[in-house]
Structure 1
Amino acid sequence: MYELTEEETSVVSLVSEWVNREVKPVVRDLEHGNTYPEDLIEQMKEMGIYGLVIPEPWNDASVSTPCFAAVTEELARGWMSLAGAMGGHSVVAQLLLAFGTEEQKDRYLPRMATGEIRATMALTEPGGGSDLQAMRTTARADGPDGPDGLDGHYVVDGSKTWISNARHASLVALLCRTDPEAEPAHRGISILLVEKGPGFEVGRDLPKLGYKGVESCEISFDGMRVPRSALLGGVEGKGFSQMMRGLEIGRIQVASRALGVGQAALDDAVRYSQERESFGKQIWEHQSVGNLLAEMVTQQTAGRQLVQHAARKYDSGERADMEAGMAKLFTSEAAMKIALDAVRIHGGHGYSTEFDVERYFRDAPLMIVGEGTNEIQRGVIARQLVKRNRVGDA
């Protein structure tokens, strides 16, 4: 199913067994209580899950992106919120690896690998949605040496919303404007590596349909002073392109979450269709139910191939936004349909909170709107398709 090394296959199997043993028995109570899964998060740290994308010399147990995707799927199969708890963290790690200064890498990556430091990213603003270039959060250069001095600071003002893990993360990759007058606008956008302190406030937890247990919050900055050394890569105006690269792994991660939800729904539907009988036979033998199962497994299998293709493309070092976008688009839409079909197969039980399929149906929509809506994904895919196939190009 996966093109992984023997060692990576063992890693995926270890996580799968842990999900079955530790997560499945407790997830319903945690999810219905909207309880932060402290014990499960600590176990994830001990297993090295927070360091999977961080290589030597900062960590000795990194894996390929295809393996990272497979581990994410297994976590989401148990509870999508667990995969969400390490999603933004992994994006920030990749941003540091690709663009961070050596000092920034040495400062954060070793402790991120163990989970001592948990990271998240702050992109979306109230009223801004997917239009990142319209952001209003600013970082104004200040200090005796001005914007080029190592002793200078940025003064940050603004707000962000829908920030996952905002309360539990100690490092935030903040997308902001360092030059509000830049034209085009994206040339004035940078990423600051912000640690919590005076002027940083975590606001209310946003109420959600699904994705329970892990918080999504509003955060605000009011005259927060951030050292010049916090500028990712040390060069202003690179933040938009840096984040677009980071979102490639982010979208692969979200696509893998969708696979996990889809697989859990499929597993439950297959099991229930053999346990439940009507008109003298198991319900899977009725053509209407059998057809649903056939479509579900076909979509799930096709989605997994798209995710693995995007993961291999990402590891090649080539641009993978089209592949990541296709994987995220397909798997998220498939997960929504698979979850709904699982409810159909369960009948009235599918609408009951005593069965997990109602949770899958509430969790699935997040992947459609998260990490760039699917409407945005279609635009990304179309632009890259045309760019790669220009008429008249040699």
Structure 2
Amino acid sequence: MIFRLLLFLSMVLILELYVFQAVKTFTKVKWVLWSYIIISVGAILFIGYQFSKFDRSVGQTQMSMITLGLLLLVVLPKIVITLILFIEDVYRVLYGIVNRFSSTSNTTAFLPDRRKFVSQIALGLAAIPFTSLIYGMTLGKYNYKVITQQIFFPDLPDEFDGFKITQISDVHSGSFDNPDKINYAIDLINEQASDMILFTGDIVNTHAKEMIPWITTFNKIRPHKYGKFSVLGNHDYGEYVDWKSEKDKEANFHAIKELYGKIGFNLMLNEHTFITKGNSKIAVVGVENWGRHFKKAGDLNKASEGLTKNDFKILMSHDPSHWDAEVNTHTKEFHLTLSGHTHGLQFGIEIPGFLKWSPAQYVYEQWAGLYEKSGKYIYVNRGFGYHAYPGRVGIMPEITVIELKKGKNLV
């Protein structure tokens, strides 16, 4: 514990020394320098104090999210500045060594002075993550995007050609702080006029009580002709806080499962049901959470018991790591899997058709959008809400509309 604290303080000190050098090189105005020192020290003390107060029996709160947001706001820009000035320092040292042994050297100083334009570049580049994080915490977290996706299946039952499914995931209702924005998102869901809606888990951060203020709002999601179905996510099990007793934890879990019903969704716990349209049918399969790094309660065999390989199947499984681990090689052959969980880390860059990047891709092979292997598909929803960092940068909250099409995929 002491070693980690010393390591953290050392990193903070290095960052502060470099950033202060950049500010001092950029301007010699004393009130600016003192203002920087006061603001920076104040932010560090505030962050340290808030983290010291974190209560694992309570879990994430609005204040803990604000604190994490402030930490990123303080640290990331300073890392950018430090990296640039460190590179400059490497150059200064090499220049000093060469200059010292040069026969034509007329200077006595080993290191050349810092160049003002390098500090200007560092400060300018640091402004990019700084302003992006502020945008993410103010506007980005509620910048809902409706993403439509057609997926073609040769063996889709004829009468389901054109069948529309809305998917939402990772609501994390305990993070919400703007009822108007949530009502707007619910209106967007209803505007899609889909045949069915599927909710792939994480209705809360931890506690069932987080959703209580939002039940009326989510009950505004209109009835869908072919149903409203859901599964549990890893946060729905209440495993990220310390409970007074196992009884309290079980009571919370039971209350969370009831929440899905209270907003009109049929919670599927390792089971399946058939959706019938005319003379055709498809199976909707729902498993509990199965995660590579998180709780493994999902039982695919139990959920698909009685189904055949030829049944057309849509699987809801919260964590996309389940797809490669079990789903994609299962003998029952699941045509389409719908997941969430990653949030796209709420940070990245997406330029359709050109660039798609997030640190999430170094943890999850399937982290956002549509993926295909051997004619089977998984779609990973980027999430409706947000968690931990109270914002979204580049990876916006998503409402997915998937249209099932009969035929061969043209992509």
TM over 0.5: no
More helix by share: 1
Q: Which has the larger radius of gyration?
A: 2
- TM-score normalised according to structure 2 size: 0.24
Q: Which structure is higher in RCO with an 8 Å CA cutoff and minimum separation 6?
A: 2
- TM-score normalised according to structure 1 size: 0.24
